[in-house]
A = this chain, B = another copy of it.
Amino acid sequence: MSLIIAGTVRVPPQNLAALRPHQLAMLAASRAEDGCITYSYGEDIAEPGLIRVFEVWRDQAAIDAHFKAPHMATWRAACAEHGVSDRKLFAYETASERAL
């Protein structure tokens, strides 16, 4: 079954606008990767600067390739530059999926 990556990172609210183009580039590059089923960033509706990450990948090999992709290195540099912190991400192996 697929793998989910989900969790949060924090961005100083005053840096959100400057980080946005880097987020959009990361979305586009990740969604174009082999094995990427879903890749998304949301801003928490209750906590400004709390970014909610949600990804679905075909398998672990796809995630391994994702972490080694050139755009990941670019993204990590942008995160450091814009004070992204409190990375709390979890990987879940899924056993089943159904529409609600």
Contacts and interface: CB of A to CB of B under 8 A. Distances in A.
A98 B94 contact: no
B42 A1 contact: no
Interface string A11-25: 000000000100110
Nearest to A98: B91
Given A42-B52, A93-B97, 19 more contacts: A4-B92, A5-B100, A6-B6, A23-B45, A40-B44, A41-B46, A42-B42, A42-B43, A89-B99, A90-B97, A91-B97, A91-B100, A92-B92, A92-B95, A92-B96, A93-B95, A93-B96, A94-B94, A94-B95
Please report whether the interface of chain A is mostly helix, strand, loop or mixed according to DSSP: strand
Given A42-B44, A45-B20, A90 B95 contact: no
